[in-house]
Amino acid sequence: MLSERVPEANAAGPSTALMRKAYARWAPVYDVVYDKLTEPAARAAVEAAAEHGPRVLEAGVGTGLSLGYYPKGSFVCGVDLSEDMLKRARNKVRRRGLTHVRGLQVMDVCRLGYADNSFDAVVAQFLITLVPDPEAALSEFLRVVRPGGGIVLANHFGQTDGPMARVEEIVAPLCTKIGWSSDFKSTRIEAWARRNGVEFSGVAPTFPGGFFKILRMRKAG
């Protein structure tokens, strides 16, 4: 169904190495901490992605918390840097019989091993703010999405101004060490979309209390 290129070696910058290390630690407890907290955002992101068609790439799929939310007839591929997280995703797929999941691979989202226009949508939940080069990742999403397809992000984004924005900036280095992000602003993604002729369809607040947001974009065509 999906044509794949042989993946190139992953970029192994210090931040990428840090992420791998952080998520090797998170993997055993990730579902306990995040499942209920992220479920509404994950369901909303999956629904938004599925509107574009059945072929979806989950970038930074992690332990596969959202893989069960896809509608019947979907074809979902998932990639992640962390083999420890992916191992758990593969177990879920097996245990729950999630036959719509067509592949889970170790891959850096900045160097996707898929051909151009392979997917109807790319969805990235709680990922984009953790990537060392988010614009490179977004450009890869754009490349592998077909014309008219969607890019859907779910995340917490930092405040653009005010005292909270300052606090988020102060705690940012600590957050990075444990695999979180506090001060990444959605305006950075809007700016990327403008530069690349991508339609920015808006940011919708979701649980808890608008802390997480769903950001939708559409590739021209």
Ligand X SMILES: C[S@@+](CC[C@H](N)C(=O)[O-])C[C@H]1O[C@@H](n2cnc3c(N)ncnc32)[C@H](O)[C@@H]1O
Q: How far is the CB of 107 from ligand X (least distance, A)?
A: 6
Determine, following the binding rule CB under 6 A, whether residue 131 of this chain makes contact with ligand X: yes
Q: Which of 86, 87, 90, 88 is nearest to 108 (CA)?
A: 86
According to CB under 6 A, which residues from 39 to 58 bind ligand X? 42
* Cα angle, residue 59 at apex, residues 139 and 53 outer, rounded to 5°: 85
Determine, following the binding rule CB under 6 A, whether residue 140 of this chain makes contact with ligand X: no
Q: How many CB atoms lie within 10 A of CB 97?
A: 8
Q: How many CB atoms lie within 10 A of CB 99?
A: 9
Determine, following the binding rule CB under 6 A, whether residue 138 of this chain makes contact with ligand X: no
- Applying CB under 6 A, which part among 76-84, 94-102, 164-172, 198-206 lies near ligand X? 76-84
According to CB under 6 A, which residues from 94 to 113 bind ligand X? 108-110
- As a whole number of Å, the end-to-end CA separation of the chain is 22
Q: How far apart are CA 88 and CA 25, in angstroms?
A: 13
- Applying CB under 6 A, which part among 47-55, 95-103, 120-128, 200-208 lies near ligand X? 120-128
Determine, following the binding rule CB under 6 A, whether residue 60 of this chain makes contact with ligand X: yes
- Applying CB under 6 A, which part among 124-132, 158-166, 182-190, 210-218 lies near ligand X? 124-132
Rounded to 10°, the helix 30-50/83-96 angle is 70
Determine, following the binding rule CB under 6 A, whether residue 144 of this chain makes contact with ligand X: no
Structure tokens at 186: 């959605």
Contact set with ligand X (CB under 6 A): 16, 19, 23, 34, 38, 42, 60-62, 65, 79-82, 85, 108-110, 125-127, 130-131
